[in-house]
Amino acid sequence: MRSMRVRWNIIVSLSLLALLLSSCRLPLEKSKITLSGGSEQAVSAQENSGAEATVRKYAGYIALDIYIHGQVADVLERYGERFGHKETLDLQKEAHLDRGVNLELTEANKLAEYMELTDKQPALPEVDDAVTKLAPTLEGLVKTLGEIDTYYRFRFYVDDDLAKGKTLHEQLQVLLEEWEPLVEGFTVGLHQSLMKQRELDLADFKANNQMIRYHALKSIMAAEAIEDELTRQSVTTETLDRLDIAAYRGLYDRLTEEVAGYIAAAEDPEQVKQEELDSNNLYGYMLKQKIMLVKASATDLLQRAEQSRTFSDYNKDGTPKDYKKKLQEAVLEYYVFVIGSE
């Protein structure tokens, strides 16, 4: 049952990634329209198309970042559990190679599309440069993991007594030495650039009375602050009892307030009309569901830490990993909403 749920979550996430990436390739029709209303309208159209291009490019880079810290990170974690991350192969007794190792990275064919973002406007020099540097190593990593997955999935390790497995392991370790600083450079650069852009977005939403979009983004940012705090405290499911609850609760209360503001705006018919959103807007509905799931996960996490509620061993709700996954899905859905509602 758990395996089916995990696979379904991956399918949903990859569908969102595909939509975001395909939307990055859509022609910006607004920039092609010749308006007869004079130069002011022409400038307005150019500004709108420029803003749209900015949203699409950030959406693509965020999808890439989530792909790296989601699926790629999960595959590398599984690999480490089975074979270790030392220079030489350290096969664990519980590896159960006969059951397969599930190391395949799906949607690897999207890598070229991710990399094409560097050539799109507007230019984001630091982020574009980080992606250009990251690309060869990411491609090498995906290729090597694919070879490793095939090697163990088809049990070639039985035929050569793990000889090629040891070679592939060494190749992977070389790539990982390059990988970690490159990923950090990309993620830090993207985060810094994104924070500046989000401040501009919030000001624009507020000035134009787009309070659904405004509170949605504020909710996402509040949720990300919780993730940052969990990372800062190095909290895992196993160490959740050591969470600084006072620090967490302050961020949790902020998230609760922002989500309440978002739901109130999203359910206000006048505000929906003001933002020219269809009352049956599927993008808006899906975003609301994803944000509410993040809020619920944050609540579950607090209850776990305070031990105010009993969770079964099979219930992963409210673990740091569960929270991160739900947040990633909400972030993707936010950009689907913003792009789809344009």
- Model confidence over 265-279: pLDDT tens digits? 999 999 999 998 876
Q: What's the mean per-residue pLDDT of the chain?
A: 84
Give residue 111's pLDDT.
Answer: 81
Buried b (16+ CB within 10 A) or exposed e, 59-78: bbbbbbbbbbebbbebbbee
Give residue 203's pLDDT.
Answer: 97
Q: For residue 200, is it within any domain?
A: no
State whether 171 and 224 are in the same domain: no
pLDDT tops 80 at residue 31: no
Q: For residue 196, is it within any domain?
A: no
State whether 248 and 147 are in the same domain: no
State whether 167 and 138 are in the same domain: yes
Q: For residue 201, is it within any domain?
A: no
Q: For residue 218, is it within any domain?
A: yes
**Using one digit for the tens of pLDDT, what is the confidence trace for 117-171?**
999 999 999 999 999 999 999 999 989 998 998 899 899 999 999 999 999 999 9
State whether 155 and 64 are in the same domain: yes
State whether 24 and 126 are in the same domain: yes
The token pair that represents 163 in the structure block: 């000889």
Q: For residue 195, is it within any domain?
A: no
**Using one digit for the tens of pLDDT, what is the confidence trace for 160-214?**
999 999 999 999 999 999 999 999 999 999 999 999 999 999 999 999 999 999 9
This prediction's pTM? 0.82
Structural domain count of the chain: 2
Query: Which DSSP string corresponds to 261-324?
Result: HHHHHHT-HHHHHHTT--TT-HHHHHHHHHHHHHHHHHHHHHHHHHT-S---TT--TTSHHHHH
Among candidate residues 106, 3, 66, the one with its CA nearest the CA of residue 324: 66
Calculate mean pLDDT across residues 246-263.
97
Which domain CATH number covers 263?
A: 1.20.120
Q: Which residues span the domain enclosing 338?
A: 208-342
Residues 6+ apart with CB under 8 A from 27: none
Indicate the burial class of 13 (C-beta count within 10 angstroms; 0-12, 13-18, 19 or more): buried
Calculate mean pLDDT across residues 316-332.
94
Distance CA 180, CA 196 (A): 25
CB 282 within 8 A of CB 242: no
Q: For residue 16, is it within any domain?
A: yes
Q: For residue 198, is it within any domain?
A: no
Contacts of residues 93-101 at CB distance under 8 Å and 24 or more positions apart, as own/partner, are 97/152, 97/155, 97/157, 98/155, 100/152, 100/153, 101/148, 101/149, 101/152, 101/153
State whether 92 and 154 are in the same domain: yes
- The last residue of a domain, from among 190, 216, 241: 190
Report in angstroms the alpha-carbon separations of 207 from 116, 194, 243, 274, 283.
33, 20, 39, 13, 23
Distance CA 342, CA 97 (A): 49
State whether 186 and 256 are in the same domain: no
Helix axes 320-340, 211-232, angle to 10 degrees: 150
Q: For residue 21, is it within any domain?
A: yes
CB 319 within 8 A of CB 304: yes
**Using one digit for the tens of pLDDT, what is the confidence trace for 43-80?**
344 445 688 899 999 999 999 999 999 889 999 998 99
State whether 230 and 163 are in the same domain: no
What percent of the chain has pLDDT above 90?
A: 64
**Using one digit for the tens of pLDDT, what is the confidence trace for 81-101?**
889 888 999 988 767 776 666
pLDDT tops 60 at residue 14: no
State whether 11 and 107 are in the same domain: yes
Confidence of residue 13 (pLDDT cuts 50, 70, 90): very low
State whether 126 and 228 are in the same domain: no
State whether 320 and 227 are in the same domain: yes
State whether 125 and 267 are in the same domain: no
